[in-house]
Amino acid sequence: MKNKKYFIYCQGDILLTKEGTVPFGDCPVELKPWEKVTELLGGQVVVGVLSKPITDRPDLQMMPLRKSFHVLPAEDYQLAGKCAELVYFHQNSKFCGVCGGEMRWQTEISKQCKECGKELWPSLATAIIVRVTRGDEILMVHAHTFRDRHYGLVAGFVETGETLEECVQREVWEETHLRVTNIRYFASQPWPYPSGLMVGFTADYLSGEIELQKAELSDGGWYRKDNLPFLPDPSSIAYRLIMDWVK
């Protein structure tokens, strides 16, 4: 089958054509420098990894996966995220955690140990992100992990034995010492960095004064629509939550 799309990765970057599209048709690189991980959609999608980035091909380019949001069609970007998660899963599931046997692909998205038969699927790290508002103000924070000067929303991973709503309350309290109420689901977003699911909520301020968790946050506060700080990338659900409130 020649009409295949090739989703090939190297150190967090995806291989694209110079025009910014996913390679289609024949394999864009020789088999030797790359490894096929799996195939999806009955062989129409090939997932692979490169041993080193392609830098000597004028017709190809390496691009950070997050940056590809701005050039790929939405369908291809979402599929690129799924393929990247499968690469991460493959690289971290070579051997069985029960008996140490070799793990082999059983389906397009799962593996099975050839020794003891244990089955394994990619795991997702679920996190919440919440837009907290107080009248005409929105709570925005800057985390130490942010690579630029943008401000985002309170977010954090769900703990074992915790509901999503309980996680919202806990994360807001831990990061800002504020209490919230009227927690409502907004939307969710696959977040393949490397293998997550972001679940978005909105909430109303209930009580408290901001006391930032200095270990995680460098700044934060209440902002109005006419004095918003630098916003997150449009590819993020944080941006969607903020713009939904602005509009």
Give CA–CA dist 205/151, Å, rounded.
19
Distance of CA 27 to the CA centre of its chain: 27
125-246 folds as Nucleoside Triphosphate Pyrophosphohydrolase (3.90.79)
How is the chain split into domains, by residue range? Answer: 4-91, 94-122, 125-246
Model confidence, pTM: 0.90
Classify residue 43 by its DSSP letter. Answer: G
CA 237 vs. chain centroid, Å, equals 10
Q: How far is CA 91 from CA 104, 122, 194, 234, in A?
A: 12, 11, 12, 29
Tokens of 113: 């140990």
- 128 and 175 in contact (C-beta within 8 Å)? no
Mean pLDDT estimate for the chain: 95
Q: Print burial letters for 68-80: b (CB count within 10 Å at least 16), e (below 16).
A: bbeebeeebbebb
Give 188-227 pLDDT, tens digit per residue: 999 999 999 999 999 999 999 999 999 999 999 999 999 9
Burial class (CB in 10 A: 0-12, 13-18, 19+), 128: buried
Q: Phi and psi dihedrals of 168, rounded to 5?
A: -55, -50
Q: Model confidence over 9-65: pLDDT tens digits?
A: 999 999 999 999 999 987 777 656 788 899 999 999 999 999 899 998 999 999 999
Position 32 scores a pLDDT of: 60
